[in-house]
Structure 1
Amino acid sequence: MAENPRPELMALLQQFTVETDRYVDTVSARDSLYRTDLNALGVMMGAARTGAVVTPGMLRSELHLSSPATTALVDRLDNAGHVKRSRSDVDRRQVHLEMTEKAMATGGKLFAPLAQHIGGALAQFSTEELELLAEMMRRITSATIAAREEVAGGPAG
């Protein structure tokens, strides 16, 4: 093993990022989806995991879109059958967005090959090694968020 593996690890993380982007570009082109649509569905899936309510305003903020671009995005996702709009029970002016079964099936179809291959790679590690890798990814993700906020001039949100 190299005396200082950090430069190689940094290069591998960069390569992983590039290859992930290439994968997303390939599946989005194959299935005629815009990257923004996939990013929106990713945001919605993350919100669903935490129980957060998704609104057009939340998507606008998370994806750094203008109001007209957000409206076009939600309209595309709605017309494609990927989201369902409903009015808030508390404030009827507020629209809530929910992913549909079709969106979940589409997401599964798009990302199943990636999950299968990454799952196969991860299966070669012990539980202890996976715990270490998970901690590394948490720290790298936090560092990436901090760097983004720094170059943006403060915390995002």
Structure 2
Amino acid sequence: MAASDVPVYDVAANDPDGRLIDRGAISETDLAQITALMQALGALRDEEDRFGRASEEYMKLGRTDMRALHFLIVTENLGRVVTAAALAAHLHITSASTTKLLDRLERAGHITRSPHPSDRRALAIRVTPRTRGVATATVGAYQARRFRAAARLTPAEREVVTRFLRDMTDELAGADGSFPEPL
């Protein structure tokens, strides 16, 4: 059996006893559509994971490093100056972890640190032109593919997809993160 033959996001396969989802009020047609939607979300997540791993390997960086570079590129595109504190807040990491991250990125030639233009106590962090070019040619081109997929939708379809994704995000954010005792 091929891995693609296993319906890992099928509601009935994941919850055969109906303890998590009450399927009594859901028609078979609706259930099939929901399963197809969950399968599509899973395939998207798998593709994003695959591309993320390939990008990290290509650039010889970890996930947090890549998130840091993305933030630095976007903020620079917006004309903003980034400090270590702003980067730490965005990444939800400690100042010590941020220092290690910046040291690593600077040693690898991905960023520069220079005096902040208006705050003498802070340093401005910028992505090097070479790293910006590589990121644009790889991750940027990947993001452009997402844009093209969204652009093919009608305005009404984009509203429905946006509402669905926000609702799903809210549902997942509402989970309290507690788990039963380990077995």
Relative to the length of structure 1, the TM-score reads 0.71
Task: Give the drift of 1:109.
Answer: 3.5
Whether 1:52 aligns to 2:57 is no
In 1, the alpha carbon distance for the partners of 2:79 and 2:168 equals 25
Task: Give the drift of 1:63.
Answer: 1.3
Residues 78-130 of structure 1: per-residue CA shift (max 9 Å, x gap): 2222222122232211111112211211202432663576577567x36x36x
In 1, the alpha carbon distance for the partners of 2:174 and 2:48 equals 22
Identity of aligned residues (%): 26
- Aligned match for 2:59, one of 10, 31, 39: 31
Higher Cα radius of gyration: 2
Evaluate the alpha carbon distance shift between residue 148 and residue 54 of structure 1 in structure 2; reply closer, same or farther with a 3 A threshold: farther
Gaps of 5+ in 2: 1-27, 178-183
Give the number of the structure with larger relative contact order, counting CA–CA contacts within 8 Å between residues 6 or more apart. 1
Q: What's the secondary structure of 1:93's corresponding residue? A: coil
Evaluate the alpha carbon distance shift between residue 52 and residue 8 of structure 1 in structure 2; reply closer, same or farther with a 3 A threshold: farther
Task: Give the drift of 1:26.
Answer: 1.7
- Aligned match for 2:123, one of 95, 105, 122: 95
- Aligned match for 1:82, one of 66, 85, 110: 110
Q: Is the 8 A contact 2:150 2:158 kept in 1?
A: no
* Amino acid of the structure 2 residue aligned with 1:140: L
Match of 1:155 in 2: none
Return the structure number with greater helix share.
1
CA RMSD of aligned residues (A): 3.2
Gaps of 5+ in 1: 153-157
Q: What's the secondary structure of 1:92's corresponding residue? A: coil
Residues 26-59 of structure 1: per-residue CA shift (max 9 Å, x gap): 2212332222111101112232344433111111
Q: Paired residues, what number?
A: 148
* Amino acid of the structure 2 residue aligned with 1:81: G
